[in-house]
Amino acid sequence: MSSGSDPSLAPAIRSGVFFAEARRQAVDSTEHGLSAGNVNRAHSDGAHDSEDESALMRRAGNGDASACRILVDRHLRSIVGFSYRFLGDFAEAEDVAQETFLRLWRHAHRWEDLARLTTWLHRVARNLCIDFVRRKRPEGVEDIADHPDPAEDQATILQRGSVAQLVVAALAKLPERQRAAVTLTHYQGLNNIESAEVMGVSVEALESLLSRARRGLRDHLMPLRDDLMGDL
Amino acid sequence: MTRESKQIEEIDIQRFQQILDSYGSNADRWPATEREAALALLRTSPDAQKLCGEAGDLDRILDLAESPEPTPALATRIVAAARQALGWRERLTAIGSEIWPFGSQWQAAAIFASAAILGLALGAVPLPPTAVEDELPIIEELALLTFGPELATED
């Protein structure tokens, strides 16, 4: 659906509600090879025909390298994006993405169409991210949010000139479950049912996590709105 | 049933606010079951439009965190790993075909498994005592015949 095309929504459009994508397209950051946002791209990932994906998984399970390549082309960017927003580190995000796909290959020959592939991949990636953080910081993932690195405060990051990093840093300050919930729904293009499935919670619990996450992000980011949007 | 004639369940401004609090201002992210009703309210309610505008402020900032582009080497590594991880299945299948060219390898596996189970079962069951075991050793038998029962058992 295209809510932005409805003329009766003009007030909301004028307020900038539906201009997010156009504004995002204007961003041209070269750091870490970052490129324009992926909300709509993630939605298009979700549009892959499930029957088509089942056939690809069957072929991959039989050792068909071309099917593996198609699956990587379709989903790698999304999984790296999810892991990056979860971990806040690009190299670690790539490690998690690689391990996620290795698990997919090991699982491919007994793939059953019980879940959409993108949901399965996100669930594995999320678990790997949690393991990754626990190994790295034994105090646990939830505690990280309570002890952000003082050296990486907002002013410092702004001085480094990357507003994207500031948003990622704000995400990193959220407790793990809130961070995963907002990443899945806002950035990864998963709907509420799929996000709840990845998280292993009910839709009601997901909404509660999302609501708290967005409140936390608003508290962190809205005071900096003029600085952030001024950069663009 | 046309879209116009479809019954849309109404939602109140409180639920609309909850949707915005959780999913933000982009209707694509709203729950599919409530999207039509939420959009209907947005069309007619200035309060809903104001709330939606406020939620959009945060969305625009969140959208600044672009998605990182994976390095080309990563995709290459993952596809190479697929060849390694999945190649053994191909090799195993090829070897199986050479050993059992008569059809399904599951059939062959089932026959081998049946034979193994049968062998184990036979090995586990004790054989019935034979007549040989009831017989006396030859020396004792000769002694019995030669010296009679009393001398033959004397040690």
Structure tokens at A77: 């960017």
Q: Which residues pair with A34 in a beta bridge?
A: B68
Q: Measuring CA to CA, which residue among B145, B146, B143 is closest to residue B155?
A: B143
DSSP letter for A139, please.
Answer: T
Quick one: pLDDT at residue A13? Answer: 40
Query: Least CB-CB distance to A94: which of B26, B66, B74?
Result: B74
3 state DSSP class of A34: strand
CA distance A13 to chain B (A): 8
User: CB–CB of A75/A53 below 8 Å?
Assistant: no
**8 A C-beta contact, residue A9 and residue A18:** yes
* Nearest residue, CB atoms, A15 vs list B53, B70, B75: B53
Contact B53 A23 (CB under 8 A): no
Strand partners for B68: A34
Tell me the pLDDT band of A157, cut-offs 50, 70 and 90. low
Out of A53-57, A148-152, B87-91, give the one with best mean pLDDT.
A53-57
Q: In this predicted structure, what is the pLDDT of residue A224?
A: 82
pLDDT for the residue numbered A112? 81
The closest alpha carbon to B63, from A178, A229, A103, belongs to A229
pLDDT band at B29; cut points 50, 70, 90: very high
CA A20/CA A155 separation, integer angstroms: 24
- Tell me the torsion sign for CA atoms B71, B73, B74, B79: positive
- Tell me if residue A111 falls in helix, strand or coil: coil
Q: Smallest Cβ distance to B69: which of A12, A27, A35?
A: A35
Mutate to test the interface with A, among B33, B66, B83 (most CBs of A within 10 A): B66
Q: Rounded CA gap, A58 and A54, in Å?
A: 6
Write out residues 6-25 of B within 8 Å (CB-CB) of A: 18, 21-25
| Under 8 Å between Cβ of A73 and A45 | no
Please judge whether A90 and B42 are an interchain contact, meaning their C-beta atoms are less than 8 angstroms apart.
no
CA distance between the termini of chain A:
28
Per-residue pLDDT at A135: 86
Query: What is residue A115's three-state secondary structure?
Result: coil
Nearest partner of A190 among A32, A71, A81, judged by Cα: A81
**Average pLDDT for residues B54-70, to the nearest whole number?**
91
Q: Which residues pair with B98 in a beta bridge?
A: none
CA distances from A217 to A56, A168, A179, B10, B134 (A): 39, 10, 10, 30, 92
Reported pTM:
0.67
What share of chain B has pLDDT > 90, as a percent?
42
Q: What is the dihedral of CA B131, B136, B137, B141, to 10 degrees?
A: -130
**DSSP code per residue over chain B:** --TTTS------HHHHHHHHHHH-S-GGGS-HHHHHHHHHHHHH-HHHHHHHHHHHHHHHHHTTSPPBPPPHHHHHHHHHHHHHHHHHHHHHHHHHHHH-TTS-HHHHHHHHHHHHHHHHHHHHSPPPPPHHHHSPPHHHHHHHHHHHHHHHT--
Local confidence band at B101 (pLDDT 50, 70, 90 cut-offs): low
Contact between chains at A16 and B77 (C-beta distance less than 8 A): no
Do A29 and A14 contact (CB within 8 A), yes or no? no
